[in-house]
Structure 1
Amino acid sequence: MNLAIDIYYYKTYAKCVGVLFLWEDDVPTQVIEATVDGVADYVPGEFYKRELPCVMAVIDQVRKYKIDCIILDSHVQLGEGKKGLGEYVYEAFDQKYPIIGVAKSSFHGNEEYVREVRRGDSENPLYVSAVGCDLDEAAESILNMHGKYRIPTMLKEVDRLGRDSVYPLNSGHSV
């Protein structure tokens, strides 16, 4: 079972969504949601400080399942000696879960840590990075995920689920 996670930020909190799925699936096996209050402000180069508590809130809900891989909308490494969100998640869970980062844009300086994956008819690649698993195998897995377009079906779905609710989880929060 794989877990894809995406996060959406509001004024004072974040909505975190995860989908459990198998590589070939076109619909999630299960959807996981969490709300995290008091998220850190965005600081360039320290994105993980904002995202890590959100990712952990979703992973904490699925520990009872055998998770083979976690897919994040981010880079795993930012360059030589520079960790991306994926590497922080990998370390936060004692290297238990392989992490694949799937980013829509490149990051200057991390070229040797990514594989460009072109799906469908798109000329724009996805930038795949990984820790805890082979990078070429990770790129192949993303390439072969369900869907005809640039973004695999399950990654589109986790994005859609997060965007669908302006007032997530009936939390009483305001945007």
Structure 2
Amino acid sequence: MSKEKSMAPTALPATDRYISPEVTVYYWVPEIADINQPDRDELDHADAWDLSAEVASATGWEVAADRVAVPDLGTRKTGRISGRINPGDAQLTCYASQDTDDVRAVIKRGDRGNVFIGYGGDVAGQHARVFAVEVSAVTPTVDVAGSEASRVILDFSITDWAEDVVIPGPAS
């Protein structure tokens, strides 16, 4: 019996590992003409805001497919296929200021705009995600125990999104 030499799968390239603080950016950008290709003028517009230094937490910014069961009479096993693609229940929690001059002065319930997330920073040529959103709620929190800084929770309804968006270089 002859044995052929087996080939191992190709190894994933080594990553340049990092931690999110001082790298990941969250921008509030009121207007982006094409979320698949934001331009530098839109990201740097006077009405856009870099929220990064005020973000205490961010949840629900994932996009996943439903799983659809596909049973049949030929087997007792029930397979699954990918179904509709849905965004998460997105939130940003920002720090609150006692004088209320914080994210509440910039973003209001009912506002429509875009959240730009640069996971590796705002670096031309790298990839980011852009979410077209409507602000569902802007809620200050109260920590009765006084064990954490006061915060404002922003709830977003994601209406559209773009993944693997190439971050634009400097405006020309």
Report the TM range for the smaller structure's normalisation.
Answer: under 0.3
Q: TM-score, normalised by structure 1?
A: 0.25
User: Which structure: greater helix fraction?
Assistant: 1
Q: Which of the two has higher C-alpha Rg?
A: 2
Q: TM-score, normalised by structure 2?
A: 0.25
User: Which structure: greater strand fraction?
Assistant: 2
